[in-house]
Every structure is written in structure tokens, then in C-alpha cells.
Chain A
Amino acid sequence: MQTHIAVFIIPALIIYTVFVVYPFLVSFRLSLYDWKGLGPMVYVGLGNFVKLFTKEPFNQQFFNALKHNLIFFVVTMIVQNLVGLVLAIILSRRIRGSAIFQAVYFLPVTLSLVVVGYLWTLMLNPMWGTVNQILRVVGLGSLTRPWLGDPHTALLTIILVNAWQWLGFPLLVFLASIQGIPDEFYEAARIDGASEWHIARHITVPLILPSITMVTIMTFIGTMNAFDIVYTMEGILGSPFFSTDVLGTFFYRTAFGTVWGTPGNLGFGSAVAVVMFLMVLIVSYAWLQITKKHEVQY
């Protein structure tokens, strides 16, 4: 390799290898040890994984968190991406003010999850929060409740707040790919007398399937890694009673310990990380293969 090529590539290569690739590989090795951070590292083979899947309370908390991640994913898909798709189809008609709508919907994406989490915590405050006040004003006072304190509503509330923040993202991705569809397709369909529903169902959706795949995978990765929003709104224990615990908070607790000073186990935490990574990898890959078969070209 010539010198100048090396000069160009090596700085990026070193930083990337040392601080991304290397830690990642070490994660896999570390997952085979029992290690509290200080003191000796004890090789336990697959012991951490066995413990994670079979030993109480770890397996309970793990499957509980995993279930919440799956609910997180499904509800986010339905609410955020379906609304995003419908809005994208509407905004693609070049109605007046569509640029302003785009900007408004996208604005929350640029905010910090921490800020969003706190803002909504304030609005959802059971005593004087905006949400309950509005419910009272419109005569639905019976629906008011401590949204974040009630184990039945806490998780759903957090998911909706998260979906509210990210709505603009799928909206814009869908909008961009809808605008790439040639107009003739729509004209032909209208001449044939297709309804708006038929056009959306048989023309728009199949043709933007690659974008839908992309958004689905990103949503999956995003919801599997959810952490900030739960941490800011419910704390590291996924309060109340672990009803909002997700793999992210579970991972943080197992690796670094809880706020009360229970020690973490870096080896066991790594095992959790490895399991999370493998799940993301397998599901994303499978989803990609499935949708590839259904993609339509034009």
C-alpha cells in the first residue's frame, strides 16, 4: 500500500477498531466469565447464559423485559409507522402547507429523549398535569389516572410518548419514497376507476416496500435498545413493579448495579448484551429475507 493511502485511512481505522470493534469482540469473551469488575475473573463457560434463562429472579426479569420490548415494538409499529404512512400518503398530494406539516412533525425527532421524557412526565403528572386537566375539561374526568404510576397504563404511556417523538422519521422516509413513484401509475389506476384505498393498497404500499422494510428493521433495533425514555420517565427499575422494565434497563442493572449499590456483574451483563445483539441480528436478517421475496420492481 502506498504511503498516502495509509495516511488517509489509518487514523479512522485505529479509532474505529479500538473503540468499536475491539470492545464488541471482547463482549463475547467477557460473557463467558463471572466478574464483578474488581477481583478475579472466573471462567464459567455458558454459565451466564444458563443463569439468565433458568435462574430466578434473572430469568423472570429477563423474560418480563423481553415481553415489554416486544410490546414496545408491536405498538410502535402500529401507532407510529401506520400513522406515519397514512400521513405520508396524505402529504404526498402536495396539499397546501405540506412543507410546514413535515417540519412540525419532524421537530420532536431533533429533541433529546431526556427532554421529551421529562416534558411528558410533567404533562402526565396526576395532580396538575396537562393530560388529566384536559380530560376533566372535556368531561372525561373518569378517565384521569396516574398514567405513569399505574402498572396497567405505564408501559403503554411510555410507548406512545416514544412514538410521538419519532413519528416524523418514518413519515419522511415514506414520503421520500412515495414521491419517487412515477405519476403514470396513479393516472392509470384512476382511469381504471380504482378507489383511493385500492391505490394505496395495491400501488403505493407494494412500491415502497423497501422503505417499509428499512423502517421496520430500524424500529426493531430502536425498540430493542430502548433505554433513555424508560430511565427518565420511570427510573432504572422500570417502575412501577417492573411494569416498564425493558432489556436496556435490565442490562444496565445487571452490568453496573442498581442505584442502591447492589454490585453489578460485568460478565453477566455482557451475556445479556450478547443475547440482545443476537436477537436483533437474527430478526433483522430474517425480516430482510422475507420481504425480499415480496418486493416489486417498476
Chain B
Amino acid sequence: MVSNSVKTGQEIFANPFSLPSSFVWDNYGYVWSIASFNAYLKNSVLVTAVSVFLVLAVSSAAAFALARYRFTGNTFLYLFFLSGLMLPIRLGIIPLFILMKNLNLLDTYASLILTYTASAIPFAVFILTGFFKALPKELEFAARIDGCNEYRIYYQIMLPLVRPALATVAIFNFVQTWNDFFIPLVFISSDHLKTVPLGMTNFFGQYQTDWNYLFAGLTLATLPTLIMYLFMSKQFIKGLTAGAVKG
């Protein structure tokens, strides 16, 4: 794929396996600016980063409250959040589509961000509640004696302690959001708002395909997750299989 990405269209047909006879970096230039890959990348980065941040923020707060306080409705709320693990978001996509239309959010970043955030909450609450529950009570008592209020206990004491769980949730959501294709396909119609997976479909025309550009596009689309994976494959694997193994 990478070697074909620097060939001309004709050379790919003639010698798909050979190393390129000369490097046609223009393929990347074309894909990057004219085929607006840079815009898709910007959209993907923005949507993924904001969604992951929002999920971590709201879910960790909710998980903290569910794990550390006793109040009426605690178990009910926990199960209510967990039931979302069962609901495939795709099957609710039609009402979601109508809802976004009524809120005037169709074809905006917000439609993607809100959907990704909401659908990631059940898993995040599930993982984080487990971790918060495992922390010793004494930490809380000590902090209270020192005059911390509840918000500071959450933010300054407990949150740093569950950092590994936050990383797990972040990686899991990063991969899911970054690679998602279905939700942008339904919500986004303007070309300049498309994310990378959706934008890729532009390179793949129904009747004729410019293979050299497609190869360059595929290489670029793969790079971000690939680099992350190479640097932290252990955490990646842990993040993506979390929840599937007991404990």
C-alpha cells in the first residue's frame, strides 16, 4: 500500500508489486489539499478529541458519585446507565436523526460529538465505577478532615488515582470514534464536515477510481492509529479488550 502510494496510476497497473521507479510525492499533495484530506483529518481530530474529553468528564463524575456515595436510587441509576451497553446506537439512529433535525444540529460537529459522547457513557461508567469502588475510604476521610469539599475530593484526590482506567476508556473511545463510519454517513452531508472514514469514500468512485490517490489516502488514514498503536500496543490491547474478560 505504502509503496503504491508513491507511484503513478499507470505504474500501479503495470507493476503493482515492484518498488516505485520514482517517487511521486504529488499523490500526497493532491490527496492532502485538493482532495481535502487535511479537512477530513481536522474534522476527525476535532470530533474525536472533544467526544473523548466529554465522555471522560461526565462519566467519571457520574461514576464517582455512584461508587462513593450512598443515596436512594443509586443502584437504579447504575443499572440504568449499564442498560445502554445492550442498546446498539444504530438501531436508534432514525429517531436520533429526527431529533438532530429538530434541534437544527444535522450536518454539524455537534451532532457527531453528542452522539459519540452519549453512546460511550455506559461503557465508561461501567469501567470507572469499578475502579472508584476499589479505592480505600480512608483517603476520602483524610481529605475531608483537611477541609476538602466534595468537588475537590473528586477532582484532586480520586481522579488522579484512576488514571489507568481513564486511559483505558480514552483509548477504547478513541478507536471507536476515529474509525466510525455509520454516524457521519447519516448525519453529515457537507463535504467540508466529513470525517476521515467518510471522506475516504470520495476517493473510491463508483465507475472510476484513481488508485494512486486512494493508496495515498489510505496510507494517511491509517497513520494516526498505527503510530499510537506502535507506541502503546500494550495499553491499546488492554483498552480494547477491557470489559470482555472477567474482572
Contact = CB atoms under 8 A, between A and B. Distances in A.
B246 A8 contact: no
A20 B200 contact: no
Contacts of B201: 114, 232
Nearest to B239: A110
A231 to B, nearest CB: 8
A218 B244 contact: yes
A48 B178 CA distance: 35
Given A1-B71, A112-B225, A114-B221, 15 more contacts: A22-B99, A23-B93, A106-B237, A110-B226, A114-B181, A114-B198, A122-B215, A176-B245, A210-B246, A211-B244, A255-B93, A270-B94, A274-B91, A276-B91, A281-B86
B181 A118 contact: no
Interface in A1-47: 1-2, 4-5, 7-9, 11-13, 15-16, 18-24, 26-27, 30
Interface residues of A, number: 72
B233 A106 contact: yes
Interface of B: 1, 12-13, 16-17, 54, 57-59, 61-62, 64-66, 69, 71-73, 77, 80-81, 83-84, 86-99, 114-115, 117-119, 121-122, 125, 149-151, 154, 175, 178-179, 181-182, 185-186, 196-198, 200-201, 204, 206, 211, 214-215, 218, 221-222, 225-226, 228-229, 233, 236-237, 240-241, 244-246
Given A11-B58, A122-B211, A22 B95 contact: yes
Contacts of A49: none
Nearest to A114: B197
Contacts of B204: 118, 121, 232
Interface of A: 1-2, 4-5, 7-9, 11-13, 15-16, 18-24, 26-27, 30, 102-103, 106-107, 109-115, 118-119, 121-122, 127-130, 133, 169, 172-173, 176-177, 210-211, 214-215, 218, 221, 225, 227-228, 231-232, 235, 248, 251, 255-256, 266, 269-270, 273-274, 276-277, 280-281
B56 to A, nearest CB: 11
A264 to B, nearest CB: 9
A19 B215 CA distance: 36
A20 B84 contact: yes
Given A12-B61, A176-B241, A115 B96 contact: no
Given A16-B121, A115-B200, A4 B151 contact: yes
